[in-house]
């Protein structure tokens, strides 16, 4: 430009400062050297943003904010998906069918009967420790029917003690582990048993009871 030739340097600087807008100097000047903080006014803002609103000076800050918003949105989506999954799966565990079994006692060996009752008790305890539900039924008939006789005076002392122990085990299973005890009325009539302990339920025919329980999904477990 001919009109500027021969002019001193301060003239050029003065001319430059009067021709460039203030925002240009602020963009060129390192922000760390500025004695104040500021925001720029973007006259090109369009869309839903109102023209002339201030925007942050730091592009990295805008990118960081956008990244945080995206991460927060993704986290919320994951939480919603986990809750939805639990909503679908939890009822399966809550309403799962219990493990069902019917233990059939037809033997007359009192020691063996007592041993098997102990095993039923341990099985129930193990299932409870594992958080599994169960439903157990004990059916008593044939040679085993004498263990439910309430009149123990007719038995010899040694046999009476064993029957007392077995009845104590049956009572514990009924009251503490919710195990149903069912005695066959046909076998009771044959053994001339007129009365049973209160924790024992009598059924007309234990075979019919076994058939009904197995048709309902009960596993058959003989003594």
What is the overall mean pLDDT for the chain? 78
Do 124 and 200 share a structural domain?
yes
188 shares a domain with 109: yes
Give 30's pLDDT tier (boundaries 50, 70, 90): low
My answer on whether 111 and 171 are in the same domain is yes
pLDDT value for 56: 47
Our count of domains for the chain comes to: 3
Q: How confident is the model at residue 40 (pLDDT cuts 50, 70, 90)?
A: very low
46 and 83 inside one domain: no
Q: Quick check: 104 and 116 in contact, CB under 8 A?
A: no
Question: How many CB atoms are located within 10 Å of the residue 106 CB?
Answer: 16
Reported as a pLDDT band with limits 50, 70 and 90, residue 14 is: very low
> Taking the CA of residue 56 as centre, how many other CA atoms within 13 Å lie in the half-sphere pointing to its CB?
9
Whether residue 178 is found in the same domain as residue 73: no
- Among 96, 113, 145, where does a domain finish? 96
Domain that holds residue 195: 98-222
Average pLDDT over residues 44-56: 47
**pLDDT of 84 strictly over 90:** no
> pLDDT at residue 101 above 60?
yes
Does one domain contain both 32 and 90? no
Provide the whole-model pTM.
0.59
Percent of the chain residues past pLDDT 70, beyond the cut: 57
Check whether residue 178 and residue 217 sit in a common domain: yes
* pLDDT above 90 for 168: yes
Poorest-pLDDT segment among 27-36, 47-56, 60-69, 166-175 = 47-56
Do 89 and 136 lie in one domain? The reply is: no
């Amino acid at each position: 430009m001919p009109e500027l030739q021969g002019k001193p340097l301060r003239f050029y600087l003065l001319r430059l400062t009067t021709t460039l807008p203030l925002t240009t100097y602020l963009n060129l000047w390192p922000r760390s050297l500025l004695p104040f903080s500021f925001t720029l006014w973007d006259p090109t803002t369009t869309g839903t943003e109102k023209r002339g609103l201030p925007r942050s000076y730091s592009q990295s800050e805008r990118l960081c904010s956008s990244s945080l918003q995206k991460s927060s949105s993704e986290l919320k989506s994951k939480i919603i998906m986990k809750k939805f999954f639990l909503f679908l799966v939890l009822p399966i565990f809550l309403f799962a069918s219990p493990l069902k079994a019917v233990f059939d006692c037809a033997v007359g060996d009192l020691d063996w009967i007592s041993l098997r009752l102990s095993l039923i008790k341990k099985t129930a305890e193990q299932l409870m420790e594992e958080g599994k539900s169960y439903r157990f039924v004990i059916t008593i008939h044939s040679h085993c029917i004498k263990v439910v006789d309430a009149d123990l005076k007719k038995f010899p002392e040694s046999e009476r003690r064993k029957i007392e122990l077995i009845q104590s085990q049956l009572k514990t299973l009924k009251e503490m582990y919710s195990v149903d005890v069912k005695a066959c009325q046909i076998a009771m009539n044959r053994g001339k048993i007129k009365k049973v302990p209160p924790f024992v339920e009598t059924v007309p025919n234990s075979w019919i009871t076994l058939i009904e329980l197995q048709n309902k999904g009960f596993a058959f477990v003989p003594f």
